[in-house]
Chains A and B, each alone.
Chain A
Amino acid sequence: MSGFDVRRFAAALRSGHGGRLGIVYHDHGPAPDACWVELALPYAADLVGDPDSGVIASGPIVTLMDMATSMAVWSRRGRFSPHATLDLRIDYLRAAVPGRTVVGRGDCYRLTRSVAFVRGQAHDGDPADPVAHVAGTFMLMDDWT
């Protein structure tokens, strides 16, 4: 039984950078067995990075994956607690198709006393044909045990 309510937390993210990008809750796994979290980034004209093609910039996908993986950490820990992103690497596998919502799934696959290791993928309709892959680490601000 997880004490971290993913859906309720995501609903509160209306303000700030994630809210400005239009990021919303999509789905999540049943903690503590499956602590993945999916957030959705609907297509919007002001996310475009290449006006010639209408393809969105990669920055919003970094934010999407930073948030999805962060929430996966809190899901696994069973509560919200501040952490700081130590590093985040994104591989852009292909451009997201203009007009499509991008769904990002974050997973916390290892939790130590001071570091959370995360990974995830983003797709624009077919999870088997991802647009981006991410790996990162967060420094926990407190001992989680």
Chain B
Amino acid sequence: MSEGDLPPYVRLLGATLERGEDGAPRLAMPFADAVLGRPGFLHGGAIAGLLEAAAIAALRHALAAEGSARIKPITITVDYQRGGRERPTLAAGTVTRLGTRIANVEAVAWQDDRDRPIATARVNFLIERGA
């Protein structure tokens, strides 16, 4: 997918791509039945999917100047810190290391306050350049 072109699964989550003031991408996901877990709370799997999409968006953004590169998530580790309540969720990724073959990305999801995340994730990607 190109950077601004969200795949079907991210649309299923109801997420849209936004830009921070620095141009960095972030995802916004409204609360809806399609992402509901137990009553009144987001499903942990939907949070993980949003975090992974935010990590992919951050990596695509970092790779945008390089032209074509395929990326594949290899591992994702999600730490859940608070329940996701009935309000919009935001998520953004930070590329902590961009190597030749591997990228390490951290992603954070929050609702009211970015300093009080509902979940964070570390995602390791395989990069195939020139693919």
> Interface residues, chain A, CB within 8 Å of chain B?
15-18, 20-21, 45-52, 56-60, 62-64, 66-67, 82, 84-92, 95
Q: When chains A and B are docked, how far (Å) is the Cα of A20 from the Cα of B76?
A: 22
User: Are B7's CB and A88's CB within 8 A?
Assistant: no
Q: Does B8 contact A (CB under 8 A)?
A: yes
**Looking at B42, B43, B72, which has the most chain A CB atoms within 10 Å of its CB?**
B43
**Which of B1, B35, B73 is close to A17, meaning CB atoms less than 8 Å apart?**
B35
Contacts known (A49-B9, A59-B13); A17 close to B36, Cβ less than 8 A: yes
Q: Which residue of A lies closest to B1 (CB)?
A: A51
**Looking at A59, A66, A67, which has the most chain B CB atoms within 10 Å of its CB?**
A59
**Which of A47, A86, A91 is close to B9, meaning CB atoms less than 8 Å apart?**
A47
**Which of A15, A21, A48, A52 is close to B33, meaning CB atoms less than 8 Å apart?**
A15
Q: Which residue of A lies closest to B126 (CB)?
A: A92
Q: Which residue of A lies closest to B50 (CB)?
A: A59
User: Are B52's CB and A20's CB within 8 A?
Assistant: no
Q: When chains A and B are docked, how far (Å) is the Cα of A88 from the Cα of B72?
A: 19
> Interface residues, chain B, CB within 8 Å of chain A?
1, 7-13, 33-38, 42-46, 48-50, 52-53, 72-80, 83
User: Are A63's CB and B12's CB within 8 A?
Assistant: no
Report, nearest first, the 3 A-B pairs whose CB atoms are least far apart.
Answer: A59-B49, A63-B45, A17-B43
Q: Which residue of B lies closest to A88 (CB)?
A: B78
Closest beta carbon of chain A to B91's beta carbon, Å: 12
Closest beta carbon of chain B to A127's beta carbon, Å: 21
Closest beta carbon of chain A to B18's beta carbon, Å: 19
| Chain A residues within an 8 Å CB radius of B37 | 16-17
User: Are A64's CB and B45's CB within 8 A?
Assistant: yes
| Chain B residues within an 8 Å CB radius of A47 | 8-9, 12
Q: When chains A and B are docked, how far (Å) is the Cα of A47 from the Cα of B37?
A: 18
User: Are A60's CB and B45's CB within 8 A?
Assistant: yes
| Chain B residues within an 8 Å CB radius of A91 | 74-75
Contacts known (A57-B52, A86-B79); A63 close to B73, Cβ less than 8 A: no
User: Are A62's CB and B36's CB within 8 A?
Assistant: no
Question: Could you give 6 example pairs across A and B, Cβ below 8 Å?
Answer: A20-B35, A57-B7, A60-B49, A63-B46, A66-B48, A88-B48
